[in-house]
Amino acid sequence: MNEKTQLQGVDLSLRKFIRNLGYLSGGAALLATTPWLTSCTPEKLKEIGGHKARVALIGTGSRGMYHAHNLLLIPHAEVVAVCDNYEPHLRQAAEFFPKARTYDDYHRLLEAKDIDGVIISTPLHQHAPIVLDALSAGKHVFCEKAMARTLDECKAIWEAYQKTDRALYFCMQRMYDEKYIKGMQMIHSGLIGDVVGMRCHWFRNADWRRPVPSPELERKINWRLYKESSGGLMTELASHQLEICTWAASHKMPETIMGLGDIVYWKDGREVYDNVNVLYRYSNGVKINYESLISNKYNGMEDQILGTKGTMEMAKGIYYLEQDNELSGMRQLLESVKDKALAAIPAAGPSWRPETKSDYVPHSIIQGKVHVNHGQSTVGVDKDGSDIILSAFCQSCITGEKAKDVVEEAYCSTVLCLLGNKAMEEKRLITFPDEYKIPYMKF
Amino acid sequence: MLVNRAEWDAEEHLFHGFVPRIMGTRFDLLMKHPDGEDADLLWWRVMDRLEVLEKVFNRFDPESEVARLNALCPTEEWVEVGKVLGHAIELCGEYYHKTERLFDVTLRDFSLVEYDKEQGRVRFAEEGVMLDFGGFAKGYALCEVRTLLEEEGVECAFVDFGRSSLLALGHHPYGECWKVALNNPYTGELVREFSLRDVSLSTSGNTANYAGHIINPNTGDYETSQMAATVVAPNPLDAEVLSTVWMVADQQERQTIAERFAGVEFEMYEL
């Protein structure tokens, strides 16, 4: 596959989807439910002409290089500098972008006038200082999730964002993933009825470690395992999934949080839990049931939204309807076409015989090839929206237009992750603290 | 916007869309189409039309035109009605006469409805008159859907509206017709198989869970027998209207009505 056709597949599919929304009756209303997409419509992409965003990578480890590969496919992006304070990582980035300047200190990079925006893929505890410094330096900022290591840092970023005219993105890629967008629109249009529960889980069977060349680098390389630099499974995995819950609930936030976390299997000196169960409760009694462990991968990863009329499995891009057991007529007709056989279908009875067993039929949220993230990669998977949100960021570097709601969604999900950790550490029921509420939230 | 889902089978060139809840029931459309995107646009037009009709006919929606007319119950002043509702009332008048007054959207005496076609307005001769398009609207909608499909050159399509009103255009991708089975709702046994092509099939009847919902307007009695009626007709609205009529008509009335609807196949089943 050459670069151009790949680009069409990567960058244009969502834009085509956005464009098509405009052609459909009710399309404008649909777009209004995903306001962050309005800053990256095909029309706005056209307006930037041949302009290129001059961007720099801060943090060029595995995730930074994942973005680097995507940047190559974004025509309106030019990588002018790369930065990492770990020499092997900086070297691999320099080899990848031979024309880019190299820095081992991000402060110096931020002084450069020819950089429009920075892409931050560092350990979590470095997010807040770098994001705040970069905004102060007048840069547009794209930062990996989660937002920050602590609640106060999240609040500081949110406040800085209220004052800045710079664009700020956190890599909430599901917001740019067509199957999530369409799935959410289905939820919000009432396809699955009232949302009565959410079940999110992420299971892996791996130690989450990276090889360390020498012992003093342990905390630097394996930052995910230590509390000073990481919120563990909650910030690294749950942050995406709790964002889905916020999105599904239209910014309604849980009121109370409880949870239990333990190190069950990987007793290798790590500090973060390898086994978490967190329960979030909304004021109407609806709950998010979050579960993650990394010593069994049978269940994989899934974001399940339960409604009175159906169930969404967002990660697989599939939904099930409660009433499907009444629909055998049309189902049999569709099956008969698949079997290339004409068969009589019981379609005309005054009523239907109820089926004793509910055999749920999966329906696809989107047509064509669905890219399913099975949740086993620790770096990232193709076509999960990460490429598109990065492309949207590069567009913002040129237009200066902020993407609505992305920071707010990142804030909400990160705060939920951190409150989950707090509930587990303190082994108590936590009420959502007033000081971390923002106007975007509803309770 | 209507809650809906659509799927495109590129291999078979087959489009399937459904609306889980419209006019109190579910709507499914299956069609052969050369182009997936065009099929999708056509689907959106079909839904637009259904939504319009829902806003006219759904008497359970207090905002619908029928509900507002019923609430107003204009006995003295004339009330203007929209084109669709006016047309529907006019058709209901024709069916009322052609069915020996058995098809009656007032469920008591349609002659109490005065319709002024010239001015597009209506009034009722008595207090308490209400219109219920329950046995009419799905057939009316199927007529409009058929028109939309035919305008787009769709030759093969199967439309299932609430499982009791079907429209079969052309044929199944792997057959000469669309085959449909009528099962006994009390026992599940096959009652009859239909081979449909360019016709509509409507069924009416009682089931174990749902009986006594059909009323004879001439006697005021509810029809509760363990019976079902099927009507196959080129026109979906004829099928829809006549299947209910068949449930309440007596032998003499059936004969008279059948003579007025040439090319329509009626059947009655004891279940």
Question: pLDDT tens for residues A114-154?
Answer: 999 999 999 999 999 999 999 999 999 999 999 999 999 99
Distance (Å, whole) CA B75 – CA B73: 6
CA distances from A261 to A277, A443, B134 (A): 6, 26, 57
Boundaries of domain holding B107 = 65-124
Structure confidence at residue A375 (pLDDT): 66
* Whether the Cβ atoms of residue A269 and residue A208 lie closer than 8 Å to each other: no
**CA-based end-to-end distance of chain B:** 40
Torsion of Cα atoms, A360 then A364 then A370 then A375, to 10°: -40
CATH number of the domain located at residue range(s) A3-175+385-403 in this protein: 3.40.50.720
- State the best of B9, B16, B183, B192 to mutate against chain A, taking most chain A CBs within 10 Å: B183
DSSP for A373-438 reads: --S--SS--TTSSHHHHHHHHHHHHHH-PPPTTHHHHHHHHHHHHHHHHHHHHHTS-EEPPGGG--
Residues in contact with A331: Cβ distance below 8 Å, sequence separation at least 6, in sequence order: A324, A361
Distance (Å, whole) CA B137 – CA B107: 15
Structure confidence at residue A9 (pLDDT): 37
Residues of chain A with pLDDT under 70: 1-30, 324-328, 345-360, 367-383
Structure confidence at residue B84 (pLDDT): 96
Which of B9, B160, B183 is the closest to A353 by Cβ? B183
* Whether the Cβ atoms of residue A392 and residue A79 lie closer than 8 Å to each other: no
Name which residue leads in pLDDT, B127 or A287.
A287
Report the gap between the CA of A66 and the closest CA in chain B (Å).
Answer: 33
Number of helices followed by number of strands (H, E) in chain A: 15, 15
**Residue of A111, A132, A18 whose CA lies nearest to A56:** A111
B209-230: average pLDDT = 72
Name which residue leads in pLDDT, B62 or A281.
A281
| Counted domains in chain B | 1
Structure confidence at residue A421 (pLDDT): 98
Which of A23, A327, A353 is the closest to B188 by Cβ? A353
Which of A24, A321, A330 is the closest to B160 by Cβ? A330
Q: Are the folds of A3-175+385-403 and A191-381+408-436 the same?
A: no
DSSP state of A295: B
Distance (Å, whole) CA A224 – CA A140: 26
Find residue B104's DSSP bridge partners.
none
* Whether the Cβ atoms of residue A387 and residue A73 lie closer than 8 Å to each other: yes
Structure confidence at residue A354 (pLDDT): 31
Where do the domains of chain A lie? Answer: 3-175+385-403, 191-381+408-436
DSSP state of B198: S
B43: in domain: no
Are A346 and B230 an interchain contact pair (Cβ–Cβ within 8 Å)?
no
The tokens for A144 are: 């990996």
For the ranges A266-275, B10-19, B171-180, the one whose mean pLDDT is highest? A266-275
Task: List the Cα angle A426/A305/A37 in 5-degree steps.
Answer: 100
Name which residue leads in pLDDT, A27 or B183.
B183
Strand B14-22 versus strand B222-223 pairing type:
unpaired
Polymer length in residues for chain A: 443
Give the CB-side neighbour count of residue A284, counting CA atoms within 13 A. 10
Distance (Å, whole) CA A248 – CA A306: 10
Are A337 and B163 an interchain contact pair (Cβ–Cβ within 8 Å)?
no
Are B206 and A309 an interchain contact pair (Cβ–Cβ within 8 Å)?
no
**Residue of A13, A75, A87, A15 whose CA lies nearest to A44:** A15
Contact residues, chain A to chain B, C-beta under 8 Å: 23-26, 29-30, 186, 189-191, 309, 321, 323, 327, 329-330, 333-334, 336-338, 340-353, 363-364, 367
Confidence at B205, pLDDT banded by 50, 70, 90: confident
Structure confidence at residue A264 (pLDDT): 97
**Residue of A33, A57, A55, A53 whose CA lies nearest to A45:** A53
Are B180 and A364 an interchain contact pair (Cβ–Cβ within 8 Å)?
no
Task: List the Cα angle A136/A141/A146 in 5-degree steps.
Answer: 110
Structure confidence at residue A189 (pLDDT): 82
Report the gap between the CA of A347 and the closest CA in chain B (Å).
Answer: 6
**Residue of A208, A234, A233, A206 whose CA lies nearest to A62:** A208
B93: in domain: yes
B202: nearest CA partner in chain A: A348
Helix or strand or coil: residue A113?
A: coil
DSSP for A220-270 reads: HHTGGGSTTT--HHIIIIIHHHHHHHHHHTTTB--SEEEEEEE--S--SS-
CB atoms near residue B179 (< 10 Å): 20
Helix or strand or coil: residue A123?
A: coil
Residues in contact with A214: Cβ distance below 8 Å, sequence separation at least 6, in sequence order: none
**What residue type is assigned to position B6 of the chain?**
A
- State the best of B169, B180, B224 to mutate against chain A, taking most chain A CBs within 10 Å: B180
The tokens for B130 are: 């209400």
Are B172 and A349 an interchain contact pair (Cβ–Cβ within 8 Å)?
no
Burial of B176 (0-12, 13-18, 19+ CB in 10 A): exposed
Topology of domain A191-381+408-436, CATH: Dihydrodipicolinate Reductase; domain 2 (3.30.360)
Q: Measured between beta carbons, which residues in chain A are less than 8 angstroms from residue B26?
A: 323, 327
B262: in domain: no
The tokens for A281 are: 């409760």
Which residue reads 């800045």 in tokens? Answer: A164
**Residue of A58, A43, A139 whose CA lies nearest to A106:** A58
Q: Measured between beta carbons, which residues in chain A are less than 8 angstroms from residue B201?
A: 348
B103: in domain: yes
Which of B16, B179, B210 is the closest to A345 by Cβ? B179
Residues in contact with A39: Cβ distance below 8 Å, sequence separation at least 6, in sequence order: A392, A395, A396, A399, A401, A402, A403, A404
* Whether the Cβ atoms of residue A53 and residue A76 lie closer than 8 Å to each other: yes
